[in-house]
Amino acid sequence: MVIAKGNSEKTVFSESEGSLLQALSDWETALPKLEDEYETQSGSELALSDFAAPLPKTWAFLDGSAFIQHIVLVRQARKAALPEDLTTIPLMYQGISDTLEGPTADIPAFGPNDGLDFEGEIGVITDEVPMGTTAEEAEKHIKLVVLLNDVSLRNLIPREVGTGFGFIQSKPASAFAPWAVTPDELGDAWRDSRLHLPLVTDLNGEQFGNPDAGEMHFSFAELIAHAAKTRRLSAGTIIGSGTVANKNPEVGSSCIAERRMLEIIETGEATTPFLKPGDRVQMEVRKDGHSLFGQIDQTVA
């Protein structure tokens, strides 16, 4: 099933009773009702700008960094050492969860030297996850899959990572594609707790990258287990994959920082600038010609 939330007053493919956040706290009861509504509403014709994020606000966004190639390249870019446990313990921070933007929300320009960047990611939304849940048990808590743009201020990151305390100012609000999708809708593309499909990012109408999200080193189940080690996760918790990145450089990137690092490795100089006002970022995941999550289509204000 596909779930979305209408912007403004419209409610679309959406919550028969209460909010999606409430529905996730009793998913087995809520799902059949949502399915009924889906049947009756899925024919609606709507513009992308009619949609909010599927979950416009939630209790926690725990964003992993599960694509090793992204970590290798961005650390190389800021001349930082690789973590010793790079391949054994996932990196994860807690990000903004009270402002989850819709697919066409403008990206604020922020400071001209902040290094404004996009990061294409896959996310999952869980129901209630008890503290101490193992990776083996975690898969069943994945109720929805989403596509998001984790906006990043690249030049503010080194100082904040240097404090050890994580990203407070360098990770502004993320934006979400309109449709949250139950794993069964993804067919054989959802396996091993990963989405095995390319995430296509366009910058100003040209393809910027289409790396396969299946190359995730840690699965979503492993990320959930890491997050839930010493805390429960509330229904509605979003777990992010981190920037989708592949070892093969020919598939391009899901963020500007990686391309700049590849340019430095190849030519000694980064030539692709970070985002500036007027730039347009689009993201999408397609399967059999069909857009699974709908599009993210943001412009820098």
Question: Which residues bind to its own copies, rule: CB under 8 A?
Answer: 57, 59-60, 62, 65, 80, 83, 85, 89, 91-99, 108, 110, 131, 153, 156, 159-170, 172-173, 226-227, 229-234, 237
Rounded alpha-carbon distances, angstroms, from residue 27 to 32, 161, 239, 293: 9, 37, 18, 20
| Closest CB 1 distance from its own copies, rounded Å | 25
**Residue whose CB is less far from its own copies, 216 or 233:** 233
Give the H/E segment covering residue 277: none
| Closest CB 21 distance from its own copies, rounded Å | 11
| Closest CB 111 distance from its own copies, rounded Å | 9
**Residue whose CB is less far from its own copies, 96 or 200:** 96
**Residue whose CB is less far from its own copies, 48 or 60:** 60
| Closest CB 11 distance from its own copies, rounded Å | 21
Rounded alpha-carbon distances, angstroms, from residue 145 to 2, 54, 193, 266, 270: 10, 10, 11, 36, 34
**Residue whose CB is less far from its own copies, 140 or 159:** 159
Coil vs helix vs strand at 221: helix
What distance in Å separates the CA atoms of residue 97 and residue 123, rounded to the nearest whole number? Answer: 13
| Closest CB 197 distance from its own copies, rounded Å | 27
| Closest CB 220 distance from its own copies, rounded Å | 15
**Residue whose CB is less far from its own copies, 46 or 161:** 161
Q: What single-letter amino acid sits at 54?
A: P
**Residue whose CB is less far from its own copies, 170 or 241:** 170
Rounded alpha-carbon distances, angstroms, from residue 68 to 64, 141, 219, 232, 292: 11, 24, 12, 27, 25
210 within 8 A of 252, measured Cβ to Cβ? yes
- 238-240 vs 61-65, strand pairing mode: parallel
